[in-house]
Structure 1
Amino acid sequence: MTSYSPTDLYFPDSDGQPMADNTEQFNWIVLIKENLEILFADDPNVFVAGDLPWYPVKSQTVRGVAPDALVAFGRPKGRRGSYKQWEENNIPIQVVFEILSPSNTETEMAKKFEFYQRYGVEEYYLYDPDRAHLKGWIRQGLQLVEIQQMNGWISPRLGVRFELTAQDLTLYRPDGERFLSPVELRRRAEQERLRAEQERLRAEQERLRAEQERQRADRLAAYLRSMGIDPDQIPDESP
């Protein structure tokens, strides 16, 4: 039988809410979270998660919040049921993404903003896919200050660039590669596999041609020796 301490009831690993209200919101959450995972895959001290409850203080009066996507620098990768900050060397989550859905209310989002501002978020990005509307805030002292120009903005923490049009948002990695959906990532991986296979086949064909040339040269040398001619003494007439 599994036992629980009293504090488990105060800091549950689920906020009881669905990860997303519709496919568009879900797709954006997955796109951002998975591409951030890929971006920091080689850094063992960058933790990325999606829809994970964050408890900044060990207090029964402070309810946690589960950002749609989050990044914590200075914390190791690994499984977590929630982000209990007092168990994470008291390092707050530095970057947060929220994707709006029709069910989100202004009051709800205002409370989230106050939470992120109070508990140390350095960069907060809020995207409404239905209106292709992006807002961002960056910490200045104790305040999260709105970024006036988000089109072309580069995240100081992530190095990610935001490109916004009237129809859509595109995110780019520091190397210039855009964020790709899981389907696009699978297609790219398949293309890379096919290219690698083609290169392997070309290399094998070259090896076989070289081997055939060597065998022909060996047969010619053997024939010349059978005629009493030393092939090594034949002058090279190539220009």
Structure 2
Amino acid sequence: MVAQIPAEITTQVIYPDRDGQPMSDNTKQFRWIVTIKENLELLFAEDPQVFIAGDLLWYPVEGDNKIRQAPDAMVAFGRPKGDRGSYRQWVEDGVPPQVVFEILSPGNRMAEMNRKLHFYDRYGVEEYYIYDPDRIDLAGWIRDGDGLTAIEDANNWISPRLGIRFRMQEDTLVIYRPDDRPFMSFVEIDRLRQQAQQEIQQARQETQQARQQAEKLAAKLRELGIDPNDL
């Protein structure tokens, strides 16, 4: 009997787009995640080579779908904007997210946060920030040589990659853009937009009124036999 050589079986590794974990535990945490992610989107809106995401699974190692993390917000310089089901690093020219943010909730445990720090340290993150909105506490790490090193004082710290500044106040954290404008919520941005529209409309009305008054004055001068163009 001739032995049959079994055909080679290729197992395809599946990289799920979801890990079954909720994006946030409460409204405060969710609000901070959205505010940071969307304001970073606005900050780099004109740069097509800055990819920004929130709660997106990042797979750093091809062939291993167990090694993964979903930062609350992440920024990858040198990667094009666009939709993704997950961030598979080998598909992204080997570029890891350089900056990541985590927003704490009461459900976070120290062991979990240490695990995340180890993950980000091992897989090439350059800047890592954790904000606790309940304690009004900001912690950060920056890559120094081969590893992440704790930032001694994050108050007034300026991110080397993002150019944003963190300012701790008594009741909250304020993040400033490089032009010194603060990060704002969508509601605050919309209010400014409405205010600007109202001011533009008011200016148009004032211009129209001034034009009408000028036309009336010109008409009166003509009645008096005076050409307003000669004045």
TM-score scaled by length of structure 2: 0.89
Contact 2:101 2:130 in 1 (8 A): yes
Report the aligned-residue RMSD.
Answer: 1.8
Separation (CA, whole Å) in 1 of partners of 2:222 and 2:194: 42
Out of 22, 26, 29, the position equivalent to 1:25 is 29
Give the Å deviation of 1:62. 4.4
Q: Does 1:92 align with 2:96?
A: yes
Q: Deviations over 1:124-177 (max 9, x none)?
A: 000111111110000011110000011110111111110113432111111111
Give the Å deviation of 1:19. 0.5
Q: Deviations over 1:28-55 (max 9, x none)?
A: 1011111111111111111111001111
Q: Match of 2:45?
A: 41
Q: Match of 2:168?
A: 164
Q: Match of 1:120?
A: 124
Give the Å deviation of 1:210. 2.4
Q: Does 1:129 align with 2:130?
A: no
> Which amino acid counterpart does residue 47 of structure 2 have in structure 1?
D
More displaced 10-residue stretch of structure 1: 160-169 or 14-23: 160-169
Q: Does 1:206 align with 2:173?
A: no
Q: Match of 1:192?
A: 196
Give the Å deviation of 1:107. 1.5
Separation (CA, whole Å) in 2 of partners of 1:105 and 1:200: 56
Q: Which ranges of structure 2 fall in alignment gaps of 5 or more residues?
A: 1-10
TM-score scaled by length of structure 1: 0.86
The share of aligned pairs that are identical, in percent, is: 56
- What SS is found at the alignment partner of 2:82? coil
Separation (CA, whole Å) in 2 of partners of 1:61 and 1:183: 38
More displaced 10-residue stretch of structure 1: 46-55 or 60-69: 60-69
Q: Deviations over 1:155-206 (max 9, x none)?
A: 1111111011343211111111111111111111111111111111112122
Separation (CA, whole Å) in 1 of partners of 2:144 and 2:119: 16
> Which amino acid counterpart does residue 68 of structure 1 have in structure 2?
D
Contact 2:60 2:67 in 1 (8 A): no
Larger Rg: 1
Q: Match of 1:174?
A: 178
Separation (CA, whole Å) in 1 of partners of 2:178 and 2:184: 14
Separation (CA, whole Å) in 2 of partners of 1:172 and 1:44: 22
Separation (CA, whole Å) in 1 of partners of 2:46 and 2:203: 27
> Which amino acid counterpart does residue 28 of structure 1 have in structure 2?
W
Q: Which ranges of structure 1 fall in alignment gaps of 5 or more residues?
A: 222-230
More displaced 10-residue stretch of structure 1: 195-204 or 53-62: 53-62
Separation (CA, whole Å) in 2 of partners of 1:220 and 1:89: 79
Out of 13, 18, 23, the position equivalent to 1:14 is 18
